[in-house]
Structure 1
Amino acid sequence: MTSYFDRLPQAAQAYLQDKKLDEVECVIADLPGIARGKAVPAAKFERLTHFHLPNSIFYQTITGDWGEDEELGGFTEPDMILKPVMDTATAAPWTQDGTLQVIHDAYDQKGNPVPLAPRNVLKRVVELYNAEGWTPIVAPEMEFYLVGRNTDPAQSIVPMMGRTGRPAAARQAYSLTAVDEYGPVIDDIYSFAEIQGFEIDGITQEGGAGQVEINLRHGDPVKLADEIFYFKRLIREAALKHDCFATFMAKPIEGEPGSAMHIHHSIVDSTGRNLFAGPQGGETDAFFHFIGGLQEHLPSVVALLAPYVNSYRRYVKDHAAPINLEWGRDNRTTGIRIPISEPSARRVENRIAGMDCNPYLGIAASLACGYLGMKNEVWPDKRYHGDAYEAEDAIPRGVYAALDLFNEAKEMHEVLHPEFARVYSLVKMTEYDEFLQVISPWEREHLLLNV
């Protein structure tokens, strides 16, 4: 066995007890969260300490086009140095041969972390917490749809066909019978997750046709973002085995609810004490300041939490997607929810983020808002009672408006990194310009003969 075998996580070691390692996929997430990198023979990976990849991967739009950066003085695509993070090594159990995936961190040629790399953005935010003696804990929820194979983009997306021969049922939230309709896909998700060493806290049917939610156990933000990054591929592969697609689009099916990535947050000190709970179990100033930070700063990072034109189709009143920044206790109509819990597990849930966001950037943005709230001692508005869908809209409703707010948020740029903020904005504006070149069916239907 290779010399690095003992440095692998236990699940990866167990996988290789039964498989000969043939290939290692060296991966890094780009701005959309797509895995970029290289696949190398196992024998070569054993000799590698790093490899090179051009920084242009962070200028690529979701369509594969490129954002032009005038400040570079020419698009020379300098190489980054990518170093493996061995405790992220995990199996690719859907492959025929023994294959490991390993996430890499990006450094420039002087050894500094590349600020454009999403994983580095999240690590930077976590380090700001650590510098204050705080340790952030998150628990993400992943919503997605299982849909029929869609090979023609001109056709509407439809729910997958269930085992009864009927399309997956809508409006059956929490129905176990609905989950059974696509049980074989769920079985493979469980199987792949176990082989990869990931713990699933629960799987439920959501309100949409073929819409599923997977909850992950709380933990370190970077580790959880790594897992979501891996989970998206894992789930897609499980779906493909059963002749369907898994999609993480925010709003794939017209008339159905959108898919969110709700993020639960708590902060602990060096002793592991939850800073949101006082000595007698009461709510602390830090708890309220975190909420205040979310209320004040979330509008400026919606561009990261809702990164595409489709993202804003999810923000529909009364469709399980709050468009307000009210906070409430055990109230799913508020953008910021305080779940029922013991004081030691007190947490704040951000319900604004879409499942189409890059998990590193979504978690980083949410934590950055709370960080600024705690640092600046921002107090929230009064708790909201009742149906918050009746409250005022408080977030931008389109890409252009969201980017305007993001570009103005200089204090947020300092938390995430100014260079990241600049490049993210120019890439997203390029992407939006690409979208505007496409004429939609709605325009052809209603404008062709009527205007």
Structure 2
Amino acid sequence: MSWTDQIPQAARDYLEANKLDEVECVIADFPGIARGKAVPALKWDRQQYFHLPNSIFFQTITGEWAEAAGPEGYLEPDMILRPDLSTASAAPWAKDGTLQVIHDAFDQKGNPIPCSPRNVLKRVVALYKARGWTPVVAPEMEFYLVGRNTDPGKPIVPMMGRTGRPAAARQAYSMTAVDEYGPVIDDIYEFAEIQGIEIDGITQEGGAGQIEINLRHGDPIKLADEIFYFKRLIREAALKNNCYATFMAKPIEGEPGSAMHIHHSVTDAQGRNLFNGPHGGETDLFFHFIGGLQEHMPAAIAVMAPYVNSYRRYVRSFAAPINLEWGRDNRTTGIRVPISPPEARRIENRLAGMDCNPYLTIAASLACGYLGMVNSIWPEKRYMGDAGEADGEAIPYSLGDAMDLFDEATALHEVLGPDFARVYSIVKRTEYDEFLRVISPWEREHLLLNV
């Protein structure tokens, strides 16, 4: 069987219309950046795998290296990267015919690399499967379209709309606001259609130039792959229209942050929703999943909010929840149960930032729910009213505090993988140390002559 017979229909349609020139062999690192190699089409036909050093998982967001190698030392051995042909997808912005293919990472004995983000998510999904459970997720992605910014010393500003004015804030759900950057949206739709990614909806959010895109519910690994692809797709659509797309959690001072809300449900072998009881009521497993989120999410925040900027999003009464309360149809709670028919009952985690790695954050969120289900953790009483008035100490408010909680979370480590937890902690603490060495404009403005 030819490899072209094993790829999705959208990729086959693309190859029928475009002569294949190059295949991008990609894998996500900790930040969710695509690492890999571009391979000429003729070589791809003959190649079953390729190599990259395991040190790609030891890099910080600045490109520095963390001392995260194991007891064997910093030898940078090659990993074996094998393609998952079900992920083959067009790169429609490329000049010549180009496919992207996500690869899985193995060591030279054939064992999955434990700190590869896609492998971390696969590990969690396998734990569900071992109990006869199938997790289902639906992500919501928020991001900003902003003006080109080539000077890090200057503030980020909203993009210029078609009227010649900057995109306006406080215009949530406005169709007129979306029309301001219609050409970008058109290109996002076009690229997504070519790649075979199904968009469930696009809306204007509350920030200036802030958009939310929802994807249809489905398999966690497939959805994480789509978010991984989608971030690149959106960036390319923005660049085509002379602006930037940013997934920073808090890019613009005074504007809301960008989240990646995750909706969860769990089905049995027959596809029945385990959160829905025989008579349409909520099951014990439904409540246990919420209980697991409440108990284990403080430690998982280090994965869901992975940078110092992530914590600027957690501001009381400013769009993002800062609590672990749960409520029905209540957007002020960190854990929300949306309106739905019983068979579609689901639980929404509203705490993750859009700057996260989708594989790791979905894995961490599912891990919290899994621990709740297997340990029969009951949640606190449902919150009534504005949860912005709830306990303000429920989650950490800095990366350093979040890492302290993460390092102590042995139960979470066992689900995500102890070696992943070890490497992740070292890389994130190295990043935090890098940040602490930088003197910010605020410090120069207010401290230089006043203290």
TM-score by length of 1: 0.99
Q: Which residue of 2 aligns with 1:398?
A: 398
Name the residue aligned to 2:433.
Answer: 433
CA gap of 1:391–1:364, structure 2 versus 1, over 3 A, is same
Match in the other structure for 2:116: 117
* Cα separation, 2, equivalents of 1:367 and 1:11: 29
Whether 2:335 is the aligned partner of 1:336: answer: yes
Q: Where do residues 43-442 of structure 1 align in structure 2 (5 Å cutoff)?
A: 43-69=42-68, 71-393=70-392, 394-442=394-442
Q: Distance in 2 between matches of 1:38 and 1:116?
A: 20
Give the secondary-structure state (helix, strand or coil) at the position aligned to 2:260. coil
Contact 1:116/1:423, CA 8 A, preserved across alignment: yes
> Displacement, 1:437?
1.0
- Distance in 2, matches of 1:4 and 1:73, equals 37
The structural deviation recorded for 1:8 is: 1.2
Q: Quote the offset at 1:155 in angstroms.
A: 0.4
Deviation at 1:74, TM superposition (A): 2.7
CA separation in 2, counterparts of 1:355 and 1:195? 24
Tell me if the contact between 1:50 and 1:82 (Cα under 8 Å) persists in the aligned partners.
yes
Separation in structure 2 between the aligned mates of residue 70 and residue 229 of structure 1, nearest angstrom: 26
Q: Alpha-carbon deviation of 1:3?
A: 2.9
Give, in whole Å, the separation in 2 of the partners of 1:370 and 1:15.
39
Instruction: For residue 117 of structure 1, report the CA deviation from its aligned partner.
Output: 0.1
Unpaired runs of 5+ in structure 1?
A: none
Distance 1:166 1:4 in 2: 49
Q: Deviations over 1:354-379 (max 9, x none)?
A: 00000000100000000000000000
Q: Aligned-pair distance for 1:299?
A: 0.2
Q: What is the one-letter code of the residue matched to 2:78?
A: D
Q: CA deviation at 1:70?
A: 6.5
Q: Secondary structure at the match of 1:68?
A: coil
- What letter corresponds to residue 427 of structure 2 in structure 1? V
In 2, Cα distance between equivalents of 1:298 and 1:325 = 8
1:69 CA drift (Å): 2.9
| Distance in 2 of aligned mates of 1:387 and 1:8 | 48
Report the counterpart of residue 450 of structure 1 in structure 2. 450
Q: Counterparts of 1:147 and 1:97 in 2: how far apart (Å)?
A: 28
CA distance in 2, matches of 1:71, 1:21: 40
Q: Find the aligned partners of 1:320 and 1:129 in 2 and give their Cα distance.
A: 32
CA deviations 1:162-196 (Å, max 9, x no partner) are 00000001000000000000000000000000000
Please state whether the residue corresponding to 1:72 is helix, strand or coil.
coil
Q: For residue 4 of structure 1, report the CA deviation from its aligned partner.
A: 1.5
- Matched length: 450
SS of equivalent residue, structure 1 residue 302: helix
Amino acid in structure 1 at the alignment position of 2:165: R
**Aligned partner of residue 174 in structure 1, secondary structure:** coil
Write the letter of the residue equivalent to 1:235.
I
Structure 1's 182 and 70: CA in aligned 2 closer, same or farther, altered over 3 A? closer
Counterpart secondary structure, 2:200: strand
Structure 2 CA distance for aligned equivalents of residues 70 and 228 of structure 1: 29
Q: Which runs of 4+ in 1 moved over 6 A?
A: none
Specify the code of the residue in structure 2 equivalent to 1:79: D
- Cα distance, 1:390 vs structure 2: 0.2
CA distance in 1, matches of 2:5, 2:239: 33
8 Å contact from structure 1 (residues 67, 430) kept in 2: yes
Give the CA deviation at 1:71: 4.1
SS in 1 for 2:248: coil
2: CA distance between counterparts of 1:408 and 1:4? Answer: 45
RMSD value over aligned CA atoms? Answer: 0.8
Task: State the Cα deviation string for residues 276-334 of structure 1 (Å, max 9, x = none).
Answer: 00010000000000000000000011000000000000001111110100000000000
Give, as a single letter, the amino acid of the residue that structure 1 aligns with 2:166. Answer: P
Say if 1:148 and 1:160, in contact at 8 Å, map to a contact too.
yes
Q: Does the Cα contact within 8 Å between 1:292 and 1:378 map onto a contact in 2? A: yes
Q: Is the 8 A contact 1:3 1:46 kept in 2?
A: no
- CA deviations on 1:18-70 (whole Å, 9 max, x unpaired) are 10000000000001100000000011011111101000000000000010136
Distance of 1:79 and 1:123 partners within structure 2: 21
- Report how far residue 73 of structure 1 moved: 4.4
**What letter is aligned with 1:113?**
P
Counterpart Cα distance in 2 of 1:326 and 1:52: 45
Percent of counterpart pairs with the same letter? 78
**TM-score, structure 2 length as denominator?**
0.99
User: What SS does the corresponding residue of 2:289 show, helix, strand or coil?
Assistant: helix
Q: Point out where structure 2 has 5 or more consecutive residues left out of the alignment.
A: none
Q: Is the 8 A contact 1:189 1:235 kept in 2?
A: yes
